Structure 1
Amino acid sequence: MAGRGYGPIIGDGLWSNNQALVAMLGLCPLLAVTTTATNGLGMGLATTTVLVLSNATISLIRNLVRPEVRLPVFVLVIASFVTAVELSMQALLYELYLVLGLFIPLIVTNCAIIGRAEAFASKTSLDRAVVDGLAMGIGFTLVLVGLGALRELLGQGTLFYQAHLLLGDAARGFSLTLGDDFQGALLAILPPGAFIGLGMLIALKNIIDKRVQRARKARAGQRQPVSDPAPEPAPETAPRPVAS
């Protein structure tokens, strides 16, 4: 664990071990708040902040916490940072805080955060714990934004609607629309649409992984030297009978 480079850690967080598409963790906020890309981005940034701060803190105190009480301590650390993030959003991004509602404090119960604390941060150095938290958080955020954008486009015909709730008044012009006459699919913004959209993203990732794997096998086969075929053995001839 200690000798692992940053590259594999980042690759795991963004793709290979993405907490939403592979580990299937944190599905409650993933499915509930992704009615728009803005909501997904806001929840993703909050989750990433908690992941990075909790990973860093747990890595620093890992040698001070007895194994018998490590999980309660980890939950206490995570809950402290979730409370700080919730109060910050309530003070700075109040309208977005009202939209996300209960799902901000529910970050405490996000299995992705406690899972990274137990499986990685508590067993490695500070720098790697921070990189892991950042990579896992960004990977989770990308799925939130992607699913939110998909559902928003299909359901409402908009993209980054109400972006000013997160990015300020300067982002009022960021919203894109497919036209006032667009007839959206109501299913996309309902809970079943969230499951269908997530299934489509998982299927897309699996297709990409299989194609990459086949391409690697093909390149590996081309690099193997072609050996000369072994000479065929000469056919055996039956001995001639000796005339008496």
Structure 2
Amino acid sequence: MAPGEGWRRGHDITAETTTHGRIFTRAELALDPVDLAELLLGAVIESTGPDGTVAVRLVEVEAYRGLDDPASHCYRGRTPRNAVMWGPAGHLYVYFVYGMHFCANVVGTEDGQPGAVLLRAGEIVSGADLARARKPAARGSGEFAKGPAILTSVLGIDREQNGVDLTDPASPVRLLTGERVPADDVRTGPRVGVAMAMETPWRFWIDGSPAVSTYRRGGRKRPR
């Protein structure tokens, strides 16, 4: 089925259709983060700034729940930093890490129940020249958005995009359905770089994609 034909979970097309599919509706994204992570593989995140637009097909993501997930930013409750993660679904949660990098997450679940999916890696599907200018040291097409900090960098996402509505066609960052990934191509495993709940297999990736990041066990001293 071609992009934009409403293949995901049988929903009708209710939002603007583009070359990378249609924009997700909020109801489609209001899922448990584990289910949302699987849904997002093959989806396209598209970001527009003053210098142009870059679109990335998602090939690796990680699910984080809330109060029942020791590795989650929300594990100890609501704070000004993690407020976006509490919903409603369909918003972008951006946080700053290690004093130098931004990471982006798609918020899921029902409003008031925290949970989100970290966008770990992707493949550039449009705006390659701009992506190359933002990441000139990349040695191949698979490295332009390999890793969560690099992905946000090539998309031009920083703290200013925290909380934007990914389901709004007028938003500077939009989430599109892309093309469905066959179940046989999906792999799961432990999350990367967390110090708690290390063995929880909530990292999902597309087998064979050169953009999937290298697995790194543990290493963080705080919940993400």
Larger Rg, first or second structure (1 or 2): 1
TM range (shorter): under 0.3
Structure with a larger share of its residues in helix: 1
Structure with a larger share of its residues in strand: 2
Higher relative contact order (CA 8 A, sep 6+): 1
> TM-score if structure 2 supplies the norm length?
0.26
